[in-house]
């Protein structure tokens, strides 16, 4: 079945942290046909992810780097949104590296707990996102453990040439419980602008 009712958007932003340098790459997929590369703060038409982050900032072990994230709606209609995250450490060859020292910690805000519902790997926004509305910030930064070192000395792993990637994937749909159920396989109950999320009963 086709129609504007089934329009969906996905936005992916990736934070890549090398041993001494922080870099960011953002990608927008609009109906999976249009892509914008390397957009730090993208305000294209539709639902978007906004961030405050300095890609040229360097970090050392024990530091917390700014990475503020929130979402907004430039659509002409109300939307419902969800997002998921993925953290991966890789070595110089691109192979996944097991992070034994919990080298990076995401600093979430209270708004994530108060304004979002977690079901599985996704966080669902508990309100209708009206045109030109924005959410509160869900993240303030990433803290790097003071146990990280680039020589593998002591009892810690060698983080030389390792890369930490944080990927945030956000999706949006029209405010329609049937559309949400068909696309996201979750149940949405609406009371005016307040949304309640739950897993589909087995």
Q: Residues 113-144, buried b or exposed e (16+ Cβ, 10 A)? A: eebbbebeebbbbbbbbeeeeebebbbbbbbb
Q: Is the pLDDT of residue 15 over 60?
A: no
The rounded distance, in Å, linking the Cα atoms of 53 and 183 is: 32
Contact 147, 60 (CB under 8 A): no
Asked if CATH classification 3.30.70 holds for the domain at 4-176, the reply, yes or no, is no
Q: Where are the domains of the chain?
A: 4-176
The rounded distance, in Å, linking the Cα atoms of 109 and 113 is: 8
The rounded distance, in Å, linking the Cα atoms of 156 and 158 is: 7
Q: Is the pLDDT of residue 67 over 50?
A: yes
pTM: 0.76
The pLDDT-based confidence of 58 (bands split at 50, 70, 90) is low
Question: How high is the mean pLDDT of the chain?
Answer: 74
C-alpha dihedral sign at 123, 196, 180, 115? negative
């Amino acid at each position: 079945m086709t129609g504007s009712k089934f329009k969906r958007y996905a936005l992916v932003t990736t934070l890549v942290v090398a041993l001494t340098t922080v870099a960011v790459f953002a990608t927008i997929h609009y109906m999976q046909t249009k892509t914008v590369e390397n957009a730090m703060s993208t305000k294209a038409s539709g639902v978007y992810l906004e961030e405050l982050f300095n890609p040229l900032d360097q970090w050392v072990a024990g530091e917390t780097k700014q990475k503020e994230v929130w979402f907004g709606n430039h659509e002409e209609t109300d939307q419902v949104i969800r997002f998921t995250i993925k953290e991966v450490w890789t070595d110089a060859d691109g192979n996944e590296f097991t992070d034994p020292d919990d080298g990076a910690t995401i600093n979430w805000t209270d708004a994530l707990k108060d304004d979002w519902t977690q079901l599985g790997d996704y966080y669902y926004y508990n309100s209708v996102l009206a045109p030109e509305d924005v959410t509160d910030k869900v993240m303030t930064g990433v803290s790097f453990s003071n146990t990280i070192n680039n020589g593998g000395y002591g009892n810690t792993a060698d983080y030389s040439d390792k890369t930490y990637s944080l990927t945030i994937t956000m999706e949006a749909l029209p405010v329609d419980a049937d559309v949400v159920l068909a696309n996201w396989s979750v149940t949405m109950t609406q009371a005016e602008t307040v949304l309640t999320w739950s897993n589909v009963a087995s």
